[in-house]
Amino acid sequence: MNRQAQAVVLLLFGGAILKASFTDLYLRYVKEGLRPFLIAAGVALVATAIATLWYERRPDHDHSHHEPRVGWLLILPVLGLLLVAPPALGSFTAGQSGTLPVSGSDYAALPAGDPAPIGLLDYASRALFDEGRSLTGRRVQLTGFVTAGPGGAPMLARIVVGCCAADGRPIKVGLTGGPLIDVPAGTWIQVTGTHSAKRGEDPVNQADIAYLEVAQWQPVTPPKQQYE
């Protein structure tokens, strides 16, 4: 692979990053707040590629040098971004990984409204470390995808990421009571309910699992930002 070919690969790679950044596709890889950094990286790659092509095309430049052919492997992530659109991490990841251990903190008041919409990580933390005190007397609304729990019982889950999908870990909430949830794993649902004192243990990593007393549920369209 010569430098002109390398520049073309960089150009395609930068273009693929920009394409993902200007659509919702990037949300399958990183958190929403990282979009400006992706755009900057894509612009830098495109600018580098253009500068390299200009330099290599100068008439007084020696074009005889070649780089190792392994450099062509760089085309693989480019093709992945341009031709394949993998889904966000979901029920398979949740089934293979243990629930994220949660820690206690000072809990702000729940959002106004009935039910109060909160994240799964927030609910699990309040249920496990605050013993549900900050949830007393309130109905909450959780949104996530269905995953199989101990014994095949449906649980609600969502992937929590620090910066990108590579460090994603599931947070799982058990479901008890209420109408039967009979949808396939991976289906996104919205569940309304109240705090349950029941606790479970994730068989993957033996971490505690909080439970929600289900009042009602309904299938929903997956949100634009599927990670917490």
pLDDT digits over 96-122, tens only?
888 988 877 778 889 999 999 999 999
What band does 66 get if pLDDT is binned at 50, 70 and 90?
low
CATH of domain 92-219: 2.40.50
Beta strands in 23-139 (DSSP E): 116-117
pLDDT digits over 116-169, tens only?
999 999 999 999 988 899 999 999 999 999 999 878 889 999 999 988 888 889
Long-range Cβ contacts of 84-88 (<8 Å, 24+ apart): 85/25, 85/28, 86/28, 87/28, 88/27, 88/28, 88/159, 88/165, 88/222, 88/226, 88/227
Q: Which residue has the higher pLDDT, 163 or 85?
A: 163
Does residue 79 have a pLDDT over 60? yes
pTM of the predicted structure, to 2 decimals: 0.78
Per-residue confidence (pLDDT) for residue 213, from 0 to 100: 97
- Domain ranges for the chain, please list them: 3-86, 92-219
Per-residue confidence (pLDDT) for residue 74, from 0 to 100: 66
> What one-character-per-residue DSSP string does 33-46 give?
GGHHHHHHHHHHHH
pLDDT digits over 186-209, tens only?
999 999 999 999 999 998 899 999
pLDDT digits over 50-64, tens only?
888 888 777 665 555
Residue type, 127: A
